[in-house]
Amino acid sequence: MSKTVNLTIDDKQVSAQEGEMLLWVALENDIYIPHLCAMKDYTPYAACRLCFVEVEGKKAPVTSCTQPVYENMVVHTRSERVDELVKKGFELIMSNHHLDCKNCPGNKNCELQKIAKARKLPLKPKKLIQQVNEELPIDDSMDKIVYDPRKCVLCGKCITACKENGNGILNFAHRGIDRVITTFGNISLKEAGCLDCGACAEVCPVGARSIKE
Ligand code: SF4
Ligand code: SF4
Ligand code: FES
């Protein structure tokens, strides 16, 4: 049986079940930590590198989605080191992002916009070298779902959602800046047997997978 532990996050006393991941404990207590890839109740794989915090007693910042809470833990969600790591990680993501909020289905319901606002970071940093592959085609083969890979932040959530609720047709392909989420054989969603269930769009934190208007 798990036991209740008490900890401090940004001077706020909170309690949680021992072993819970710090990210969820913070969010449940209205303390915002940037995050893109974590899914509650699933094993975290820490891909986005945005949820860093400082834990007293630890030499380096840790990712809060992989950090279990414990009794008397003291956490700081902001520090010079944390802010710098989040800024760098965010810039990296935005360098590979087709930014067009006005015409995006994710507009006003987008984790990138939320992170930018919370951390006062520009969505389009001045010195950014854009590396978006504008050639990547939009997959509009389904009646309900549409996928724009140029807006994908590679969080991997749609892969999990498709495995759990759909036909398990999505996965990562390629490496480095060519990395993309696609179907086996890089065929359209329709050809791959997509069920059009919408589970992928539901978990997508940005406007990459969405339900058509
Ligand atoms: S995914 Fe978010 S940041 Fe990107 S274009 Fe859409 S609304 Fe803007
Ligand atoms: S399509 Fe959306 S949910 Fe899937 S990896 Fe890209 S950003 Fe994440
Ligand atoms: S939410 Fe922790 S690394 Fe993405």
- Protein residue whose Cα sits closest to atom 7 of ligand 1: 107
Tens digit of pLDDT for each residue in 141-155?
999 999 999 999 999
- Ligand 2 proximity of 201 Cβ (cutoff 6 Å): no
Pocket of ligand 1 (CB under 6 A): 97, 99-101, 104, 106-107, 110, 112-113, 123, 151, 206-207
Percent of the chain with pLDDT over 70: 100
Ligand nearest to the CA of 154: 2
119 burial class (0-12, 13-18, 19+ CB within 10 angstroms)? middle
Residue limits of CATH 3.30.70.20 in the chain: 95-211
Residue type, 88: K
Closest to 61 measured CA to CA, from 43, 86, 36, 88: 86
pLDDT in tens, 65-108: 999 999 999 999 999 999 999 999 999 999 999 999 999 999 99
Cα gap 133→159, rounded to integer Å: 21
Q: What is the mean pLDDT of residues 126-132?
A: 77
Query: What span, in angstroms and rounded, lies between the C-alpha atoms of 61 and 67?
Result: 11
- The set of long-range contacts for 132-141, using a CB threshold of 8 Å and a minimum separation of 24, is 132/96, 132/97, 132/98, 133/177, 133/178, 134/98, 136/180, 139/188, 139/189, 141/188, 141/189, 141/190, 141/191, 141/194
- Specify the DSSP class assigned to residue 54: E
Domain 95-211 CATH assignment equals 3.30.70.20: yes
pTM of the model: 0.95
Distance 141 CA to ligand 3 centre (A): 31
Residue (of 211, 203, 167, 208) closest to 40 by Cα position: 203
Q: Could you report the per-residue pLDDT of 28-67, keeping only the tens digit for each?
A: 999 999 999 999 989 998 999 999 999 999 999 999 999 9
Q: Which protein residue has the closest C-alpha to ligand 2 atom 8?
A: 155
Class of domain 4-80: alpha beta
Pocket lining: 22 vs ligand 3, CB cutoff 6 Å = no
Specify the length of the chain in residues. Answer: 213
Ligand 2 binding pocket includes 146 (Cβ within 6 Å): no
In the chain, ranges of CATH 3.10.20.740 domains: 4-80
